Structure 1
Amino acid sequence: MNDSDRTPIEDTRFGEITVRQDGQNALEVEGEGIPRVTLERDPESEVDPQIALGTRDPAHLTMRIDGLEVGLKPAKGGLSRRSYRVDVEYQGADYRLVPDSIPNSRFTRDGVHIGDFSCDGDEMVLAEWKEGADIRPADAAIGYALASAFGTGAQPMWMMIVDGVAAALP
């Protein structure tokens, strides 16, 4: 992946973090204080233009942290914000990124809210860590990767229903 003109993100806890996307094929997150994360889509899989990484189908995605393949389970996405959650299992911890407002997603480790991410599904990811939370290097690496790969935020269900009804009217 070309990183010659990619400006690192300045994370408040872990310093410079670089997010690189290779179209809808792969992404990489790395920084001096965090483990390296790669997320790749099977090039033979069908591409969804609405998803930064091209699919939410876990059968077509591979996530590695420092070279070790980890369990990645993106939900299919539907009417509710919760249907856009993405779960990761790593070193005995369960991570979840789930939309909780239009622009942001809540990030949890073992059910504890540790931060919030904002990203349009590109390389510019913003993280806001919860005050007093025990934040680990892997938390940052996983959070940045998920936010970049799947984007953050979602409309509430009532807005989606109104939009759907409005689109159906002549």
Structure 2
Amino acid sequence: MYAQIDLDGRAGTLRVSGYELPTVELVRAPGTRPDAHTPIGTRRAALLALTVDGEPARLRPARGRLLRYSYRVDVRTDGVHYRLVPCGSDTSRLLRDGRRLGTLIRSGGGLIIERWESAPTPRDRALGTALAVAFGTGAAPWWETVGGIAVELIF
């Protein structure tokens, strides 16, 4: 299943669709300024609206601070809980109801590389792709982040 990815970070819109995939759309509130670190432009849930196949879904991105876990993104749709959480510097793990589905890597140009541990449903693939594109994948380890802050303060 090939996913068509249409991301406009400046406008704050993302659409993931494709043959046999449900359409996933994520939209940032009009008139809001995008931040420089998040592809969709914000991690503030109040400024984002997510739909899966036209139905609203509950989106809760964490704030993204020091620890990798703080970059997790939670979604509740159709009674299912999804979580995308960094597990390496450039990779994130996708879970459905607490069970590991696979690993996603966001490459340049919005390409998503998928490594599935179990057979994903079309919804799993579309939603995982949308989250990886909108929020990126991976995060630096805490000690690297602290080191970078220390270097900034010194120089």
TM-score bracket for the superposition, by shorter chain length: over 0.9
Q: How does 1:145-164 map to 2 (within 5 A)?
A: 145-164=130-149
Corresponding residue to 2:103 among 103, 116, 119: 116
1:169 corresponds to 2:154: yes
User: 1:32 maps to which residue?
Assistant: 19
Distance 1:87 1:137 in 2: 18
Q: How does 1:38-53 map to 2 (within 5 A)?
A: 38-53=25-40
Deviation at 1:120, TM superposition (A): 5.0
1:111-131 Cα shifts (integer Å, max 9, x gaps): 11101111158521111111x
CA contact (8 A) 2:39 2:136 kept: yes
1:107 corresponds to 2:90: no
Deviation at 1:167, TM superposition (A): 1.4
> Any stretches of 5+ residues in structure 1 without a counterpart?
1-14
How many residues align? The count is: 154
Distance 1:64 1:55 in 2: 17
Residue identity (%)? 38
Q: How does 1:1-170 map to 2 (within 5 A)?
A: 15-24=1-10, 25-119=12-106, 122-130=109-117, 133-170=118-155
Runs of 4+ in 1 over 3 A off after TM superposition: none
Higher helix content, 1 or 2: 2
Deviation at 1:140, TM superposition (A): 0.5
Which amino acid is the alignment partner of residue 78 of structure 1?
R
1:8-41 Cα shifts (integer Å, max 9, x gaps): xxxxxxx211111123310100111210100000
> Any stretches of 5+ residues in structure 2 without a counterpart?
none
From the superposition, tell whether residues 91 and 100 of structure 1 become closer, same or farther in structure 2 (CA, over 3 Å): same
Distance 1:161 1:145 in 2: 29
Which amino acid is the alignment partner of residue 87 of structure 1?
D
Q: What SS is found at the alignment partner of 2:94?
A: strand
CA contact (8 A) 1:72 1:87 kept: yes
Between 1:46-55 and 1:113-122, the stretch displaced more is 113-122
Provide TM-score, normalisation by structure 1. 0.86
CA contact (8 A) 1:120 1:148 kept: no
